Structure 1
C-alpha cells in the first residue's frame, strides 16, 4: 500500500504493478500514475487531451 498524494488515503497495489500504470484512489477518485516501482512513486495521472483529428 502507498498513500494517495491528493488525500493521504491508502491505495492498494497489486503484486505485478508496472511503471506507467494508472490507479484510482478509492477515497477521493483521483487517477494516479505509477512513476517508479521500487520504491513506489506516484504522481497525478496526466489529463487526456482531445484529438480533433489533426
Structure 2
C-alpha cells in the first residue's frame, strides 16, 4: 500500500482536537462527530448537528452509518 493511500485512509483529526480524541464525519449531514474515548464497534452515538443516531461499523478507520430504526417485535 502506498504512503499516499495510507495517509488518505487515516482518521482526520481536527487541528484543535485533544490528543487521543477521534473525529469522523456524520454520513447524514457531514458534520464532525467527536469521540473523547475510543469508540466501540456497534456503539450508537448521536450527531450533535442533525441528531441522527449513528452506529460505529468499523474502528480503523472509524466508519459511521445511520443506525437502523428499532422495529416492533410482534412475536413472529
Q: TM-score range by the shorter chain?
A: 0.7 to 0.9
**Runs of 4+ with >4 A deviation:** none
Counterpart position of 2:30: 8
**TM-score (normalised: structure 1):** 0.87
Aligned length, in residue pairs? 53
Structure with the higher fraction of residues in helix conformation: 2
**TM-score (normalised: structure 2):** 0.64
Instruction: Give the CA RMSD over aligned residues.
Output: 1.0
Which one scores higher on RCO, CA 8 angstroms, separation ≥ 6?
Answer: 1
- Greater Cα radius of gyration, structure 1 or 2: 2
